[in-house]
Structure 1
């Protein structure tokens, strides 16, 4: 009992001491407990904030680790594509649905059909029909972002014309630099489809005719005589396609036992003629509609001469004798429409640059029986 009393007394003494000490500091026991809880809450809140900051920092660091550094030497552009590789793509692709909708020849009736049969050009050989139909099927094919070959063709054209090594974005105003009319080249391919890109690809990838392509491209950038290069190229394809459909190229195709190669050469020959006419006669964008119409009619009347003239031009280049800039070997009997106003038009170069470019498809169609321009 004595020892228990001593412990009890000691406990009472300690309680009084704590109470006295608390009173001396003007703090009650409840205040001490409340202060402790508040301090603990503040500590927990600070710890939570720190944890969240650490977690966010870790996430940001993880994200940085997932980003691979891109050095200049790592920016490998897509490989250029040759015309033959692109053509092989279409030769090995199922184009059955497109082949059902092609019109490889003109539908003629009545006297027009009889006259064409008796006096018109020969029909294309049966063993060339498949190749001819392939051409028209490609002209029905639209640009497909999901096809790597299509994208490589587009990139190759841009890089060869601008002499750049890096790929460019699929969409953007940079396409206007090579003569498309907007940020998406696909919108300019109406009527000729992917065939127009194939022709431009041939133009820039054949080493013998690439210098001509760059000369024409340079003229298209002229401050006064400028024109949209790729849109003009599309119109050259349209003229070539019309000539093939109207069978004015059949004789040459039969002779060479080729369709694609003949069409390529005719496209280049037509572009050469337009280039020399445009340059020598000081044409501007305001003359484009009449010039294109004239070039089309003249090309279809003289396909053999056009092709021979291209051959002569290339021979002169190979021999290093230069080339003539005026189309004298195929000069017209009458002045070209708009000749009298060409000088006046050249003085308003800026006005011409803002004008809408007139393509062959926008001109009044010529009729031959039931024939219409596409």
Structure 2
């Protein structure tokens, strides 16, 4: 090209552009000053408006940049993963007054059942632990809110950890079904567990000792014949744990450890571990899920200490094939997955995935 304000494009500047198919996003061009060179090299004087052709090229660059940054991620999806403790601190300081109003503190028994419970049941939760218990139940009443940045970070962290992806994902889409939710919106599957359901998933994938187990279970959920919806199964286990807390089945362990939420998380992981072992070594399928969830509820309520010891053994020794894969007692009660928000409703018939 002849002179003018633009001048000729120098060879070294042309060499800075990558070959076709390997072009940088438009932001990189701006940052390195290459967009100005590109305009001037096309014969435009410095400061002149970009031609229609170059405008379209710029739009295409921006589209590439959007794809490279994670399919049009929100600001939450570009944030670093959130730890369980950071998320818990958020809920400890958040205004959950409306959620707390919906909490039914305890499952009440009447008549002979109340008398038997009084003499032979587990001890009451100590007063100093009631606040933590109420916080857990309040989180279970808190719905997923698109406007709460912490909520979105929790969701994105779960996605990244399970998929081993460094990029986030759109808030809605079929990718959530691949993780084991029922549809394009994970929030619709949290009825009865609320944000506690996501918080327990977050614990599962962010705890260094639990992450290998979570990844093994997620891998099994993708099996050709033994597949199951991972996140839906997780929500069902959280519901079982919530019910055990409401019925004071965990009070002895909570009193011993002087913790509530940590006990809930460990019991959740322990229940998932038992489900994983039975599912894998007995070659179970989704058709067996109802019976296994019944058995899991019975173990969680009646034998929480045994489940927790099994988890402790896993942490110390890793995954092992159980000596008796068919072990466990027969469940004595029908499973109830209505959650704490609908304590009066009883489900009839065989248990099933929600």
The structure whose residues are more often helix, as a share, is 1
Change over 3 Å in CA distance of 1:62–1:255 after alignment to 2: same
2:337 pairs with 356, 361, 366, which one?
Answer: 361
Q: Which residue in the other structure is 1:77 paired with? A: 78
CA distance in 1, matches of 2:69, 2:233: 36
1:220/1:227 contact within 8 Å kept = yes
1:77-156 matches, cutoff 5 A: 77-156=78-157
Shift of 1:291: 1.1
CA distance in 2, matches of 1:101, 1:296: 24
CA distance in 2, matches of 1:113, 1:238: 23
1:219-275 CA distances to partner (integer Å, 9 max, x unpaired)? 000000000000000011011111111111100000110001011000000000011
Q: Which residue in the other structure is 2:280 paired with? A: 279
CA distance in 2, matches of 1:371, 1:176: 28
Change over 3 Å in CA distance of 1:103–1:60 after alignment to 2: farther
CA distance in 2, matches of 1:333, 1:71: 54
CA distance in 1, matches of 2:266, 2:107: 22
SS at match of 1:143: coil
CA distance in 2, matches of 1:131, 1:252: 14
Q: Which residue in the other structure is 1:264 paired with? A: 265
1:328 pairs with 316, 324, 345, which one?
Answer: 324
1:327-352 CA distances to partner (integer Å, 9 max, x unpaired)? 63992356x9xxxxxxxxxxxxxxxx
Shift of 1:298: 2.1
Shift of 1:168: 0.3
Work out the number of aligned pairs and report it.
Answer: 286
Shift of 1:63: 9.4
2:204 matched to 1:203? yes
CA distance in 1, matches of 2:198, 2:180: 13
1:78-127 CA distances to partner (integer Å, 9 max, x unpaired)? 21000001111100001112111101311222222222112211110000
Task: Name the Cα RMSD after superposition.
Answer: 3.0
CA distance in 1, matches of 2:259, 2:94: 20
Change over 3 Å in CA distance of 1:155–1:116 after alignment to 2: same
Q: Which moved more, 1:69-78 or 1:94-103?
A: 69-78
1:277/1:327 contact within 8 Å kept = no
Shift of 1:72: 8.5
CA distance in 1, matches of 2:242, 2:338: 16
CA distance in 2, matches of 1:278, 1:140: 30
Shift of 1:191: 1.0
Shift of 1:281: 1.1
CA distance in 1, matches of 2:323, 2:171: 38
CA distance in 2, matches of 1:190, 1:327: 36
SS at match of 1:239: helix
TM score, norm. by length of structure 1: 0.70
2:253 matched to 1:252? yes
1:178-232 CA distances to partner (integer Å, 9 max, x unpaired)? 1111110011111111101000000000011100000000100000000000000
For structure 1, list consecutive stretches of 5 or more residues without a partner in the other structure.
1-55, 318-322, 337-358
1:14-29 matches, cutoff 5 A: none
Change over 3 Å in CA distance of 1:97–1:200 after alignment to 2: same
CA distance in 2, matches of 1:284, 1:225: 5
Q: Which residue in the other structure is 1:220 paired with? A: 221
Change over 3 Å in CA distance of 1:330–1:314 after alignment to 2: farther
For structure 2, list consecutive stretches of 5 or more residues without a partner in the other structure.
1-48, 71-76, 348-353
SS at match of 1:289: helix
1:189/1:234 contact within 8 Å kept = yes
